Amino acid sequence: MNLVSWLCATGAIVLWASFATLVSHAPHVPPLLLMGVALSLGSMTCLIRAREWRVPLRTMAFGTVCLFVYHISLVMAFRLAPIAEANLINYLWPLLLVLLGTSPRHGADCAAKIAGAVLGFGGCVVAIGSTSGNVVFSMAHCVGYAMALLAAIVWAVYSRGARWLPPFSSWAVGGFCLGAGLLAIASHLLFEPRFTPTGNDWLWMTVIGLGPLGISFMLWDRAMRQGNPSQIGILAYSTPVLSMLGLALAGKVTDCDWSTIFFACALIVAGVAVASLRPVVLRPGPFVQKWKR
């Protein structure tokens, strides 16, 4: 995988990891309003190439609906289930991305990628569990778990979507963001109490829109197009770890276990390394080749 793909994927992951820290500065803004405003503002990062937003209707519908359903599903999951359990289910999407990007015909390569994804998911479990205590699933929260699983499936499908749809520019993601943002604002007006953001709220929503819910999507789209989706998917498991580090550095988490964080990082790095292994092709030696002649 080339350097540009790694840089784009890393940039998107770092921006997503900052999301929790940035949102903590606007705690009173209703989730749908925050996402709607941030996604709409995020579309402005692609405004300089707005002409490239002109894509077939099914492509625009695919991108807009995926971004909207992913975020709305995740919000509902966090409301209907404990955040730790919901977040773990949500982070099944890199594993699903690996599965979507592998072919059973390449057995050894497929096995290496799945093993790497499992290691990465282990790092995610360690990272989330280190600050959330014991992660216990209960049937009482099954609806929330289902919403988190829906979010994971939608994001994995969206990440692979560029390869299934007619060719379109990465800048078209700005149109997806605007469409999803407007849908989120409409949902806010229908389902959430009216809220008037303060100047400070607008500042943080703008930062969130320009970064985690803006330019990050274009970087991710470009990484998915030019890179190896399986390796990038495993790298994405570093998001919760980096998110936790950001919260700790911002003073939002005070009981962070650094040894556990480093162990989680080691698992994720090991997962990426395993997934990057190439299957060894055994070739017959000179004696065997001569005998076959």
pLDDT in tens, 241-253: 787 777 777 776 5
| Section 182-204 average pLDDT | 93
Q: How far apart are CA 209 and CA 181, in angstroms?
A: 10
Is a pLDDT exceeding 50 seen at residue 281? no
Please state, rounded to an integer, the average pLDDT across all residues of the chain: 80
pLDDT in tens, 125-159: 776 666 555 555 677 788 888 888 898 899 989 98
∠ CA(242), CA(67), CA(159), 5° rounding? 65
Domain boundaries, the chain: 3-280
Q: How far apart are CA 276 and CA 202, in angstroms?
A: 42
Q: How far apart are CA 270 and CA 124, in angstroms?
A: 13
pLDDT band at 288 (very low <50, low <70, confident <90, very high): very low
Could you tell me if 229 and 100 are in contact, meaning their C-beta atoms sit under 8 angstroms apart?
yes
Residue 254: per-residue pLDDT:
58
Residue 137: per-residue pLDDT:
63
pLDDT band at 62 (very low <50, low <70, confident <90, very high): very high
The whole-model pTM stands at: 0.78
